[in-house]
A and B are shown apart, each in its own frame.
Chain A
Amino acid sequence: MKNFTYSRAENAESAIILISSNADAKFLGGGTNLVDLMRENIEQPDALVDVTNLSKDIEETADGGISIGAAAKNTAVANDKKVREKFPVLAQAILFGASGQIRNMATVGGNLLQRTRCYYFYDDAARCNKREVGSGCDAIGGFNRIHAILGTSDACIATHPSDMCVALAALDAKVLVEGKHGKREIAFNDFHKLPDNTPQIETELQTGELITAVEIPKNDFAKHSIYRKVRDRASYAFALVSVAAALEVENDAIKNVRIALGGVAHKPWRAFEAENFLTGNQATGTNFRQAAEAELKAAKGYEHNSFKIELAKRTIVSVLKELAENGGIKR
């Protein structure tokens, strides 16, 4: 592990100033991923700027949505009454992630920025385009059971590991960021990037920009939402496939539907194809299956992960059926 300096920022402004003085500095949230990566010499920052003293407030916004400070612990978000009532899918997704101990440490901002669990990314004796630009991707011809099936490139087939982000994608959240050039908002679906030829660039964040909050806009149907995580082990395991979905049925037709997938892509995968297919259609098993087929049409399997294509389809159908069986009203 390389030596590094540590400082603690008391507010966003000071955090941004602290980080701008050092090109190899990183913000530190709960450290549940970054510190592991530093121990493995995968991340080698010169300096850490601790941002856990920044806002952790979970507040209702003027329009009836919710704003979550970036330093809020995952556990706090999952246990928040407003979150549980308005956006149960978010609380569920968080509780399906990691372990109690990790959720107690991990922050919302850090969760967005956690890095892939691709074995080859962690193995510095293997090739990885994220770790060493242009070196190649050993996952493509290697053991790739946990890897992506959607939006992959010849440079990278890693997945984004977060559960929480899958729910946030389904909820059309916004990421509030602040840098030396001011504040801006990034739509959640634009925040994480597909790998293309630059898998080392994982988000829209510019150098030195800090996530200050995540906002979820008001919506009347997300209280009828669920998160399903399919994994080998019943707890403390990453998703093979996960689905966050919300469904609103009116007069026998689907008025609103949101579907996002985890474990299948370099980013939380918003299933727009499936949503478009379903909107205005009847909430039937056949339609759910067709929607899933449409979404996964572009999927590409590799040697060990082709099963994820069928598994993703079935998980989408299973979740939508459950929502529909409950009248799209509650879990």
Chain B
Amino acid sequence: MSNEIGKPLSRLDGRPKVTGAARYTADTPIEGLTYAVFATSTIPHGRVTKLDVSKAEVAPGVLKVLTHLNTPKLKPIQHPPAGQSLMPLQDDRILYEGQPVALVVADTWERARHAADLVRVEYARAPFLMDFTEHLDKAVTVKGFFEPDSKTGDFDRAFNSAPVKLKQNYHLADRHHNAMEPHATIAAWRRGKLDMYDTVQGVFVARTVIAQALGRKPADVRVRSKYLGGGYGCKGFVWPHQILAAVAAREVRRPVKLVLTRAQDYTSHGYQAATEQTVTLAAGRDGQLVALRHESVAPGSMSDDYVEYGAIASRTMYACPALETRHRIVRVNRGPGTPMRAPQEGPSMFGLECAMDELAVVLKMDPVELRLKNYAERDPTKGKPFSSKKLRECYSEGAQRFGWERRNPKPGSMREGHDLIGWGMASALMETYRFPATARVTLERGGTVLIESGTQEIGTGVYTIMPQIAADVLGVAPERVRLVLGDTTLPGAGMTAGSSTTMGVGSAVHDAATKLKQKLTEMAGGPIAPDAYADLLKRRRLEKLSAEGLWKPDGEAGTGESKEWTMYTFGAVFVEVRVDESLRVPRLARCVGVYSAGRIINPKTARSQMTGGMIWGLGQALLEHTELELNYGRYVAKDLANYLVPVNADVPDLEAYFVDEVDEHASPIGAKGIGELGAVGVSAAIANAVYHATGVRVRDLPITVEKLL
């Protein structure tokens, strides 16, 4: 080991990214490329009764107009791993606004877009359901990724006998991912095989679904994804446009590029469904929880069963003998939801951590103290111990760094000039989803090292972290190691999702590098210095020497559970907000987060993950909201001028720290996941701080000025 793990190495892909040398999917040069643009439905429910494509078909440059009348029939696909089972352009049904009704292929993008505007559609409109909050009576139970309900202990008995009770509703808004890079797919058929460049968080998953829809073997499809301009979950599952691009390429017998417009990004690949949460708490006067019930209802789609689990964190967060959670969906005429940073725990920790703050107020107890009082030593629902958990350290270090002891608990008591100052805090929690991964590490002539793994780079630092891990094992400089990823011809790896890549792929790389080192040692007949690697190859007349690595979790894949342990990451978030006493616009003034998240491979890229997550949480708290047009059954405004994400001027000083921790139960390299954790807890901490500043408890996100006037 040469201690490369833990070093704050700057991104090895930083220079190509800022100089434009990094090639993103839509930039891939392909000879003979044609361009595809969708025409989409303006109604949320009904049937297409008339499609006039005559003007589009004769528009300059147009090669083909695909509609449900002439698109070849595709094989059925399932969610998951498809984002939705509903495939557009297969029949006349419309189940959501933005559903493609035609796909125009032309020789230039401008001409394709123009022709798409010329497609005329007539509909038979059907009644539609948009706002799930008005139809909570239609809530149904479906089985998504997790059990819909959980129950531990006797809630009613514990609740009825408790001296302190609290029940509140919390509402979180619909949000969209808004990755800077729109979805883009390039599909080219070569000798009966499909070659795709695709903005996907999982090349292998994309290959599986696309091959299935097309009735081909996975081996006939190659998918590549070299860089992603953000995904946040919306490029994880496989969406219809990816498949339809491949169909279009087959129809026009030329490569097709399909880049969704920004507006189409709001209706083509999911969103984070709003949740209507009810939290019921009962506690002793000392703050000890005796009963906790967390219920969540979210909108679902007409075609599929994706569930946003807006109560799931309550299964794990606090030690409480009587604990119930419940999840329902109301089907609405919108495309399905999908995971979005941070799914499940992100929304559910808002309700829970706001309710805990309200309980602290009722009990006149410090919010940190209340949380320590209910600290869970083992998972209260699964009954298992945590593989590692240093949340106590997070609370104390966070409070100390923030200066929490100087907080006057009385709302509105802290001010500066015209600003009311609010200090709030919340815990963070995220399940450690673990997925198997493989990798190959190769020593090349000259002593450089190549890592190959079919994972993806979504902006988190994979191009840097994996070389660090291999370098650590092999004793070479990370700059001498390069990573090739994002290609189904490489060793298999899972989706870049669930904050799992460093842990999973990193462990596979570690395994491969360790095996390679063993081979080298054996070949050398004993320990060998890294600077002798090249010579050894030369002496053995070898071009290169490879080793394959594998890691798979010792429990069910895709969960944070093994036979013995339950695995989560944790954190404590402290924030200061400022609210002008008269104008009442809330602004975040500072944020301190301390996290317990296993071993940190690269503190620099990790810090960047956490502060990015905090900004994500800031957006959730104060700005983000996909507004519904209830009269038409559409989203109101599908662009970045009207969907507000934070800009630099909204972002204050952010501080992120990690407590020293190695979790060997989670992965051989001791790492867990961090990408989503930073986005958890921030919105609750902000809402709690807004209450502290103003005395107004806003239980409805985002917290905009009218809620504080």
Chain A interface residues (CB < 8 Å from chain B):
1, 41, 117, 119, 122-123, 125-126, 138, 141-143, 145, 230-237, 240, 307, 310-311, 314-315, 317-318
Q: Which of B641-676 contact A (CB under 8 A)?
A: 641-642, 644, 646-650
With A1-B113, A143-B636, A307-B706 known to touch, is A234 a contact of B583 (CB < 8 Å)? no
Mark the stretch among B84-92, B333-341, B623-631 that contacts chain A: B623-631
The secondary-structure label for the interface of chain A is loop
Are the CB atoms of B705 and A235 closer together than 8 Å?
Answer: no
Contacting residues, chain A, for B632 (C-beta < 8 A): 125-126, 138
B28 at the interface (CB under 8 A from A): no
CB-defined contacts of A123 to chain B, threshold 8 Å? 634
Could you name 7 residue pairs across A and B whose Cβ atoms are closer than 8 Å? A41-B117, A119-B629, A143-B636, A235-B648, A236-B647, A307-B706, A311-B709
Using known A-B contacts A1-B114, A230-B583, determine if residue A235 contacts B647 with beta carbons closer than 8 Å. yes
B: which residues have CB within 8 A of A?
A: 42, 110, 113-114, 117, 418, 580, 582-585, 587, 622-623, 627-632, 634, 636-637, 641-642, 644, 646-650, 704-706, 709
What's the Cα separation between A315 and B584 when bound, in Å?
A: 10
Shortest A238–chain B CB gap in Å is 8
Q: B641 touching A310 by the CB < 8 A rule?
A: no
A314 lies within 8 A of B582 (CB): yes
In the complex the two chains form, is A318's CB within 8 Å of B644's CB? no
Kindly provide the distance from the CB of A163 to the nearest chain B CB, expressed in whole angstroms: 15
Instruction: Name A304's closest neighbour in chain B (CB-CB).
Output: B706
Q: Cβ of A117: which chain B residues have Cβ within 8 Å of it?
A: 641-642
Q: How far is the CB of A261 from chain B (nearest CB, A)?
A: 14
**What CA separation (Å) do A119 and B631 show in the bound complex?**
14
Chain A nearest Cβ from B503, distance in angstroms:
35
Q: Which of A119, A143, A234 has the most CB of B within 10 A?
A: A234
Q: What is the CA–CA distance of A126 and B42 in the complex, to the nearest angstrom?
A: 9
Chain B neighbourhood of A240, CB < 8 A: 705
A86 to B583, CA, bound (A): 28
Q: Which residue of A lies closest to B580 (CB)?
A: A318
A232 near B582 (CB under 8 angstroms)?
Answer: no
CB–CB A318/B582 < 8 A:
yes
The answer to whether A232 and B623 have CB atoms under 8 Å apart is: yes
Beta-carbon contact of A119 and B647 below 8 Å? no
Across-interface contacts of B628 in A (CB, < 8 A): 143
In the complex, what distance in Å separates the CA atom of A317 from the CA atom of B580?
13
| B266 CB → nearest A CB, Å | 13
Which residues on A sit within 8 Å (CB–CB) of B42? 125
Least distance between A97 CB and chain B CB atoms (Å) = 13
| Bound-state Cα–Cα, A234 to B648, Å | 8
In the complex the two chains form, is B631's CB within 8 Å of A230's CB?
Answer: no
Find chain A residues with CB under 8 A from B584 CB.
314
**Which residues from chain A contact B705 at a C-beta distance below 8 Å?**
230, 232, 240, 307, 311
Contacts of A311 in B (CB 8 A): 583, 705-706, 709
With A1-B114, A233-B644 as known contacts, state yes or no: A315 contacts B583, CB within 8 Å: yes
Closest partner residue, chain A, to B632 (CB atom): A126
The residue in A125, A232, A315, A317 that gathers the most chain B C-beta atoms within 10 A of its C-beta is: A232
Min CB gap A123→B, angstroms: 8
**Chain B, Cβ-Cβ closest to A237:** B644
Residue of B nearest to A98 (CB): B641
User: Given the interface contacts A230-B585, A237-B644, A311-B709, does A143 sit within 8 Å of B704 by beta carbon?
Assistant: no
Please, which residue of chain B has its CB at the minimum distance from the CB of A138? B631
A276: min CB distance to chain B, Å? 24
CA distance A153 to B583 in the complex (A): 28
Separation of A122 and B582 alpha carbons in the complex (Å): 33
CA distance A315 to B709 in the complex (A): 12
CB distance from B612 to the nearest CB of A (A): 18
Q: Which residues of A contact B580 (CB under 8 A)?
A: 318
- The minimal Cβ–Cβ distance linking B274 to chain A, given in whole angstroms, is 15
A143 and B630 CA atoms in complex are apart in Å by 8
Residues from chain A with Cβ under 8 Å of B648 in the complex: 235
Cβ contacts under 8 Å, B646 to chain A: 233
With a cutoff of 8 Å between Cβ atoms, the chain A residues found around residue B649 in the complex are 233-236
Known: A125-B42, A233-B644. Is A119-B637 also a contact (CB below 8 A)?
yes
Complex-state Cα separation, A123 to B634, whole angstroms: 10
Closest to A1 in B: B114
Alpha-carbon gap, A41 to B261, bound state (A): 15
Instruction: Known A-B contacts: A117-B641, A233-B649, A318-B580. Give 12 more (CB < 8 A).
Output: A117-B642, A138-B632, A141-B631, A142-B630, A143-B628, A231-B585, A232-B585, A233-B623, A233-B644, A234-B650, A235-B650, A307-B706
Q: In the complex the two chains form, what is the Cα distance from A235 to B587 in whole Å?
A: 12
Q: A41-B117, A117-B641, A235-B650 are in contact. Are A310 and B709 (CB under 8 A)?
A: yes
B501 CB to closest chain A CB, in angstroms?
Answer: 31
Is A122 within 8 A of B637, CB to CB?
yes
The distance in angstroms between the C-alpha atoms of A119 and B641, with both chains bound, is 11
Give every chain B residue within 8 A of A237 (Cβ-Cβ): 644
Instruction: State the CA gap A143–B628 with chains docked (Å).
Output: 8
In Å, the complex CA distance between A143 and B42 comes to 17
In the bound assembly, the distance between CA atoms of A317 and B627 in angstroms comes to 31
* Cβ distance B650 to chain A, nearest Cβ, rounded Å: 5
